[in-house]
Amino acid sequence: MSVVIITLLLVIIVLQLVMLYRHQQTCQQRDREKALQFNQFEAYHYLRDRLQLTRGIPYTTDWSAAPDFLKLIAGHVLQQRPAVIVECSSGTTSLVLARCCEINGSGELYSLENGAEYAEQSRHTLARYDLSSWGEIIHAPLIPYEIDGVTYQWYELDNLPDRSIDMLVIDGPPGFIQQHSRYAALPLLFDKLADGCTIFMDDAARPDEQAIARMWCEQYPQLNNHYLNTERGCALFRVER
Burial (CB < 10 A; 0-12, 13-18, 19+), residue 103, is middle
| pLDDT value of position 228 | 96
CA 192 to chain centre: 21
What is the value of pTM for the model shown?
0.83
| pLDDT value of position 1 | 55
| pLDDT value of position 202 | 96
* Average pLDDT score over residue span 71-98: 97
Q: Give the model confidence (pLDDT) of 172-192 as tens digits.
A: 999 999 999 999 999 999 999
Q: What residue spans define the domains of the chain?
A: 1-50, 54-239
| pLDDT value of position 25 | 65
Q: How far apart are CA 164 and CA 194, in angstroms?
A: 6
| pLDDT value of position 31 | 43
Q: How far apart are CA 129 and CA 69, in angstroms?
A: 21
Q: Give the model confidence (pLDDT) of 12-70 as tens digits.
A: 777 777 676 675 665 555 545 444 554 666 778 788 889 998 777 776 555 568 899 99
Residue 36 Cα distances to 85, 174, 203, angstroms:
29, 24, 16
Question: What is the CATH number assigned to the segment(s) 54-239?
Answer: 3.40.50.150
Q: Give the model confidence (pLDDT) of 109-167 as tens digits.
A: 999 999 999 999 999 999 999 999 999 999 999 999 999 999 999 999 999 999 999 99
Contact 140, 160 (CB under 8 A): yes
